[in-house]
Chains A and B, each alone.
Chain A
């Protein structure tokens, strides 16, 4: 745990609403998809913050907001004290150097017409002051070596590589500008099981080597637990629980976290007949029209009148040391994702 380290990324009350419009000639706004709806957290140096949640909970929109690929409706993202959401032009370009991204799908996130050398070297074209022109080829080869690829393959095209190798190319590109923060959006979910472990090990090694901070977005809870120092659980645009990995996995207090963890199949057949499961009914509600009060109440077995009236804040509640956004937060034994 590196909780006492300086925080290099501060996210405060981040909100992103996508407008829903009606009409072709005269567009009227009839509502909004509340993709990210008031998210706050800190990321410390050298730390990995895992973000888990179902599809549609706003994980990927959050990643785009952090990269300033989307403008937030309100709120701030401070990288080393500077707000990237307010930055424009040259300043934004300079700030982006410090925060890079590894995409989910290595099959579509690499341009098939560019060689590996061009792909990994492209960041240098955009930020020419990082590497002088004559030096770039050597830098790219170094990067390939760092991620475990053969530097002689610099002139090959993406289709000549396997999925795991392509993901390594994506990681090399993310490292090119020597960022402090890397956002990994489902970096291993498109890979085969035997290759996932290779890429996870690479990410951990690079973190130690370059003192990187990761935002690790994934839906595979056991993968997130393995790599994360802290974990945030998102539901319908909000963080519902935030804590260290053992706080979230061993003593979750939010019913959604408990249900999510108990839904993960345990890779061990022993005792499967007696295993207790919380099976949530239905699908998450639409983020265009979330329930009043607590967003989770429509699927929650603890819901009472107060849940429909008052929105529970993400705060530390009696009986546990980490913040949870539930009126009735309490530790409950669940079968964990081991």
Chain B
């Protein structure tokens, strides 16, 4: 672990989870107005735990991840409130040189599109080895040896022969493995995977998800999986945070959420999955469109699309009601939603 942090707080001496995002607000100042991308997101993840953040494009899931990593473009982005605590220390208050140490060693990230995330003009081995050279000051030869070990670990065949190949010489699945190798190079405690398999075929997706699960088991990492795929979530997540319009609208354990969703949006998503017994019938579709971040609806952001809407939904923003210790829903009528199952 980084010296900086171990000086400030000893391992496990703080009360909370390993990583806690607390009431985070992020907005983008654009010419068309202020886009409130993240409006009070709170979630946490512990060592060995998998948190799935589920949401559509524009729901704020990736912006939250970028803020955690400290790679948000500012400006136009601006963090207007909240804390991100890693081992109890608020990352947002740390100076850049200390954050830099945490990036890669404490928290690390796998991006969606490996072809654009990797540098096309350097060999992949050089890019993986860069992690050791810059963070650990390892010598070139030693770093390269470690890069080969890592490529073996993420099961790239003939790693030794391919270490000097360039990203375009690899297939999509192999490129994603290289991204993962870079992300786990310094044994991070938290790995954020932002849509790691969206661009891949199902057979390759199964390989990559299997690899992530295995690496997580081996090193007891906390995993934040950002996705919109309800199938992948059901497969690997321990708990789920559903995002809509920059807020968490429901958080629950994976079994609770799939059995009886407590927010109309998560319920609608689950119902719109094509199922065998629905064949030939109309699919359930959430009507309308996701909200425009420049002109968020008043009250509950989901109210224009919600079948449970009452008058107060238009005026009152629902707080994240606590349903049980592990569960919350930002719907005034969550009881009704659960009861209808």
- Is B296 in contact with chain A by the CB < 8 A criterion? no
Which listed residue, B173, B206, B229, B286, touches A194 by the CB 8 Å rule? Answer: B286
Interface Cβ pair total, 8 Å cutoff: 117
B173 touches A283 (CB 8 A): yes
- Is A269 in contact with chain B by the CB < 8 A criterion? yes
A201 touches B235 (CB 8 A): no
A196 touches B272 (CB 8 A): yes
A194 touches B268 (CB 8 A): yes
Which listed residue, B174, B205, B254, B274, touches A225 by the CB 8 Å rule? Answer: B274
- Is A226 in contact with chain B by the CB < 8 A criterion? yes
Q: In the assembled complex, how far is the CB of residue A246 from the closest CB belonging to chain B, in whole angstroms?
A: 9
Closest to A161 in B: B289
Q: Kindly list chain A residues whose C-beta atoms are within 8 Å of the C-beta of B235.
A: 265-266, 269, 272
A192 touches B56 (CB 8 A): yes
Bound form: Cα–Cα A268–B275 in Å: 11
B 278-312 contacts with A by CB, 8 A: 278-279, 282-287, 289-290
Which listed residue, B230, B237, B282, B287, touches A193 by the CB 8 Å rule? Answer: B230
Q: Kindly list chain B residues whose C-beta atoms are within 8 Å of the C-beta of A225.
A: 274, 276, 279
- Is A142 in contact with chain B by the CB < 8 A criterion? no
Closest to B283 in A: A197
B285 touches A265 (CB 8 A): no
A267 touches B234 (CB 8 A): yes
For chain B, the count of residues having a C-beta within 8 Å of the partner chain is 46
A279 touches B210 (CB 8 A): yes
B228 touches A265 (CB 8 A): no
A266 touches B283 (CB 8 A): no
Q: In the assembled complex, how far is the CB of residue A295 from the closest CB belonging to chain B, in whole angstroms?
A: 15
A260 touches B202 (CB 8 A): yes
Closest to A264 in B: B202
Take A263-B202, A266-B235, A269-B254 as given contacts and tell me if A197 and B279 are in contact as well, using a CB distance cutoff of 8 Å: no
- Is A137 in contact with chain B by the CB < 8 A criterion? no
* A198-239 interface code vs B (CB 8 A; 1 in, 0 out): 101100100000000000000101110110000000000000
- Is B270 in contact with chain A by the CB < 8 A criterion? yes
A223 touches B171 (CB 8 A): no
Closest to B235 in A: A265
Take A194-B272, A267-B270, A283-B171 as given contacts and tell me if A201 and B285 are in contact as well, using a CB distance cutoff of 8 Å: yes
Closest to B230 in A: A267
- Is B4 in contact with chain A by the CB < 8 A criterion? no
Q: Kindly list chain A residues whose C-beta atoms are within 8 Å of the C-beta of B285.
A: 194, 197-198, 200-201
Take A162-B289, A222-B273 as given contacts and tell me if A193 and B56 are in contact as well, using a CB distance cutoff of 8 Å: yes
Q: 5 smallest A-B Cβ distances: which pairs?
A: A265-B231, A226-B274, A197-B285, A197-B272, A263-B206
B residues with a Cβ closer than 8 A to A are 56-57, 157, 171-174, 201-207, 209-210, 228-235, 237, 254-255, 258, 268-270, 272-276, 278-279, 282-287, 289-290
A residues with a Cβ closer than 8 A to B are 54-55, 162, 164-165, 192-198, 200-201, 204, 219, 221-223, 225-226, 245, 249, 259-260, 263-270, 272, 277, 279-283, 336, 338
